[in-house]
Amino acid sequence: MTRLVIDPVSRVGGNLRVEVELTAGTVTDAWTSATMYRGIERTLVGRDARDAWLYAQRVCGTCGITHAIASARAVENALGIAIPRNARLLRNLMAGTQLVVDHAAGFYLSQSLDWVDLASALDADPASTSTLARSLSDWPSSSPSYFGSVQQRLATLVRSDQPGPFAHASWGHPAYALPPDANLMVAAHYLEALDWRRRIMRIQVLLGGKSPHPQTFLVGGMAVAAAWGGPMRPSPGEHQWDLETASPAALSANGLSDISGLIDEARAFAEQVYVPDVTMIVKAYAGRSPIDAGIGHYLSFGDFAEDDSERPTLLLPRGRVMGNDLSGVVAVSETGVGESVDHSWYTTGADDGTLVAPGVGRTEPRYAGPRPPFDTLEGFDRYSWVKAPRYEDDPMEVGPLARLLVAVASPGATPHALARAVSQVGLEPEALFSSLGRTVARATESLFVANRLGPWLTNLKDDLAAGDLAMADISMWDVASWPAEARGFALAESARGAVGHWVTIRNHRIASYQIVDATTWNGSPRDARGRRGAIEQALIGTPVVDPDRPIEILRTIRSFDPCLTCAVH
């Protein structure tokens, strides 16, 4: 029995350390540890509650939009504010765009090279690569000369004495299963994804001023304003130069047209590049037994309200699937969430093993690990900056797979579009509970949400055309109108999974604030009953051919798309 330490785990959000116990080449135990703490929940105490979302947004530079919106919604919930329809549509557009891009670009940048061997791509025949690409989709960049030029570019880089980020790769590892032309095709798409992400993010910059950390959110709605005189008339303050140099106001005709075109580009990439690539990967790897099933309990808070009622229909539905049982969905409410710190570097002052509801929770850091520098966390009962959230005392997995399973298992529903997309991939239901399942669920969800961006934009345009220009409810902007104390919460879904914010406001300032993020669930350490978190559990039983190149472990970890920065906040 040997202990293997991997720190840092690259190509994840934030700072992740994983230690596994290997017995005869198989993982028999695992510990995931976030090695960074900031304390944003404590920073928020005392701040003007109307500013909370600005702080909360900085929980993460990738999914900050979800945290900003969840924070604004938590304060709106506390004060009983209902945002106008246009604000809901704008928030859906920005958060939806972010999810689509996080999934697709995140796959190529962070996960794809766990399934694709770049060195093998250099041996591919560009002509057969072109044939393969054209058999999968109509994506235009698919000629033999295109793949040839990509191959040359990669070869020059990889074989030079300055391979940059591709140094020390696990080329030729037996865990890779794709033929050379498939590897070259995905490598080409990796490079395309880098530029595609940049282009699509222009939506966020138009609507929010900058990306990451767009700035037009408000308690009460959005600060983006409709153009005076309607979309067809340039704003009086807008310099003509701006219009000519493609910097229109977001809600002007030019701006809306730009956003519409970018939405089409986003859709096209998801449909013609991302989903076909993942489909091909799943087919190539599906023969191997699913070794990383994990906990078997899946949680979705749901998100993307489709109407303005008090209990709106959610595009990504809310619910739980327990014990891999797809015959029904169990209800979810915020009262079911509790966090213990039994194996985490915090104290609650009382029994750290008790599950504390975030509405009354606190964050008191208390480091109890080895004095740095250290070699191992072995022997330390407390081993992570992540708290251990549980739903009614059960560990849960969150993320696109959880959302897919909840959608599939929802009673009486017509076959959900997500489920249909997955069945087209040819994955048996049992095989979904795996790293491959997480990977394909992410891809199909990306396309699913991308298909909704256009209709949301159309609804917004229709509202503006009909003269409904309200972007925010500011009836409670003046804090003098607030009650002495108010409590609120918001449940949301980032690309990575379920996100919850809980706030208590006293005299218009934040008295307490708690966040439970997606990777808090997935990257959770053990709880007081010794049950592992989702990633830890999924690693059990993973075969490791070469401990110096543990690609099998890293592949499973990255299939969760974890962000330890978010998890700890």
Partner 1 sequence: MDRLDEGLLAGLMARGVSRRSFLKLCVTMTGVLALPAAYAPRVAAAVAAAPRMPVIWLRGQGCGGDTEALLRGANPTTAELLLDLLSVDYHDAFMMSSGTAAVATQAEVRARYPNGYFAIVEGAIPTAEDGAFLTIGGRPFGDIVREVCAGAVGTIAVGSCAFDGGLASANGGSTGAVGVGRIVSDARLVTLPGCPVNAENLTATILHYLTFQAMPATDGRGRPLFAYGGLIHNQCGRRSHFEFGEFVQAWGDEGAQKGWCLYKMGCKGPETFANCPTVRYASGTSWPVKAGAACIGCTTPGFWDAMSPFSGRLPSPIPFAPDVSADQVGQVLVGGVGVLVAAHGTASFARSKLARIRARSSPAETARLSVAVPAGPTATEPSPAAPEAAGPVESTPTATAAERAAEPSVVPAEPSAAEPTATAVEPSVVPAEPVAATQPGEPAEAADPVPTVEPSPTVEPSPTDDRTPTDDAAVDPAADTTATDGR
Binding to partner 1, residues 469-498 (CB under 8 A): 469-472, 474, 477-480
For residue 22, the minimal CB distance to partner 1 (Å) is 14
Q: Where are the alpha helices (DSSP H) in 247-327?
A: 253-269, 275-285
For residue 9, the minimal CB distance to partner 1 (Å) is 5
For residue 335, the minimal CB distance to partner 1 (Å) is 29
CB 384 within 8 A of CB 519: no
Instruction: CB nearer to partner 1: give 37 or 139.
Output: 37
For residue 372, the minimal CB distance to partner 1 (Å) is 5
The residue within the footprint of partner 1, chosen from 333, 335, 374, 529 (CB under 8 A), is 374
Cα distance between residue 126 and residue 144, in whole Å = 5
Instruction: CB nearer to partner 1: give 215 or 324.
Output: 215
Cα distance between residue 441 and residue 434, in whole Å = 10
The residue within the footprint of partner 1, chosen from 208, 276, 361, 437 (CB under 8 A), is 208
For residue 223, the minimal CB distance to partner 1 (Å) is 5
Per rule CB under 8 A, is residue 65 in the interface with partner 1? Answer: no
For the record, the structure tokens of 59 come out as 């929980």
* DSSP state string for 509-553: EEEEEEEE-HHHHHT----TT----HHHHHHTT-B-S-TTS-HHH
CB 569 within 8 A of CB 517: yes
Instruction: CB nearer to partner 1: give 94 or 421.
Output: 94
CA distances from 4 to 7, 296, 415, 546 (A): 10, 26, 44, 11
For residue 68, the minimal CB distance to partner 1 (Å) is 12
DSSP class of residue 478 equals S
Per rule CB under 8 A, is residue 257 in the interface with partner 1? Answer: no
CA distances from 124 to 130, 138, 181, 311 (A): 11, 21, 5, 53
Per rule CB under 8 A, is residue 149 in the interface with partner 1? Answer: yes
For residue 52, the minimal CB distance to partner 1 (Å) is 10
> Among the candidate windows 109-117, 176-184, 399-407, 441-449, which touches partner 1 by CB under 8 A?
109-117
Neighbours of 266 (CB within 10 A): 26
Placement of tokens 């609804």 in the chain = 459
The residue within the footprint of partner 1, chosen from 62, 77, 439, 446 (CB under 8 A), is 62
For the record, the structure tokens of 54 come out as 């600005």
- Residue 323's SS3 state is coil
* DSSP state string for 363-401: --B---SPPSS-S--TT-S--BSS-EEEETTB--B-SHH
For the record, the structure tokens of 424 come out as 């087209």
- CA torsion 559-565-567-569 (nearest 10°) is -170
Instruction: CB nearer to partner 1: give 359 or 369.
Output: 369
Compute CA 348 distance to the chain's CA centroid, rounded to the nearest angstrom. Answer: 29
For residue 514, the minimal CB distance to partner 1 (Å) is 16
Per rule CB under 8 A, is residue 220 in the interface with partner 1? Answer: yes
Q: Is the dihedral of CA 389, 390, 395, 400 positive or negative?
A: negative
The residue within the footprint of partner 1, chosen from 202, 362, 416, 487 (CB under 8 A), is 202
Per rule CB under 8 A, is residue 233 in the interface with partner 1? Answer: no
* Residue list 535-554, contact with partner 1 (CB under 8 A): 548, 554
Instruction: CB nearer to partner 1: give 244 or 325.
Output: 244
Per rule CB under 8 A, is residue 511 in the interface with partner 1? Answer: no
Compute CA 381 distance to the chain's CA centroid, rounded to the nearest angstrom. Answer: 30
Per rule CB under 8 A, is residue 59 in the interface with partner 1? Answer: yes
For the record, the structure tokens of 332 come out as 């979810």
Contacts of 80 (CB under 8 A, 6+ apart): none
Per rule CB under 8 A, is residue 83 in the interface with partner 1? Answer: no
For the record, the structure tokens of 501 come out as 């914010």
The residue within the footprint of partner 1, chosen from 23, 135, 228, 393 (CB under 8 A), is 228
* Residue list 35-54, contact with partner 1 (CB under 8 A): 35-40, 42-43, 46-48, 50-51, 54
Instruction: CB nearer to partner 1: give 205 or 545.
Output: 205
For the record, the structure tokens of 47 come out as 């701040």
* Residue list 161-180, contact with partner 1 (CB under 8 A): 161-162, 164-170
The residue within the footprint of partner 1, chosen from 180, 214, 231, 399 (CB under 8 A), is 214
Instruction: CB nearer to partner 1: give 368 or 413.
Output: 368
Per rule CB under 8 A, is residue 227 in the interface with partner 1? Answer: yes
Per rule CB under 8 A, is residue 113 in the interface with partner 1? Answer: yes
* Residue list 120-139, contact with partner 1 (CB under 8 A): none
The residue within the footprint of partner 1, chosen from 210, 283, 288, 420 (CB under 8 A), is 210
Instruction: CB nearer to partner 1: give 53 or 456.
Output: 53
Instruction: CB nearer to partner 1: give 207 or 295.
Output: 207
CB 383 within 8 A of CB 338: no
Total number of residues binding partner 1 (CB under 8 A)?
Answer: 111
Instruction: CB nearer to partner 1: give 46 or 411.
Output: 46
* Residue list 311-350, contact with partner 1 (CB under 8 A): none
Task: Work out the angle between the directed axes of helices 417-425 and 275-285 (0-180°, nearest 10).
Answer: 50
Per rule CB under 8 A, is residue 205 in the interface with partner 1? Answer: yes
Residues facing 356 on adjacent strands: 339
Instruction: CB nearer to partner 1: give 194 or 413.
Output: 194
Which burial class, exposed, middle or buried, applies to 1 when counting CB atoms under 10 A from its CB (0-12, 13-18, 19+)?
A: exposed
* Residue list 237-256, contact with partner 1 (CB under 8 A): 237-239, 242, 245-247, 249-250
Per rule CB under 8 A, is residue 144 in the interface with partner 1? Answer: no
Instruction: CB nearer to partner 1: give 46 or 530.
Output: 46
Rounded CA Rg of the chain: 24
What is the amino acid identity at position 343? H
For residue 399, the minimal CB distance to partner 1 (Å) is 19
Task: Work out the angle between the directed axes of helices 400-409 and 417-425 (0-180°, nearest 10).
Answer: 110
Cα distance between residue 195 and residue 416, in whole Å = 32
Per rule CB under 8 A, is residue 466 in the interface with partner 1? Answer: no
For residue 384, the minimal CB distance to partner 1 (Å) is 12
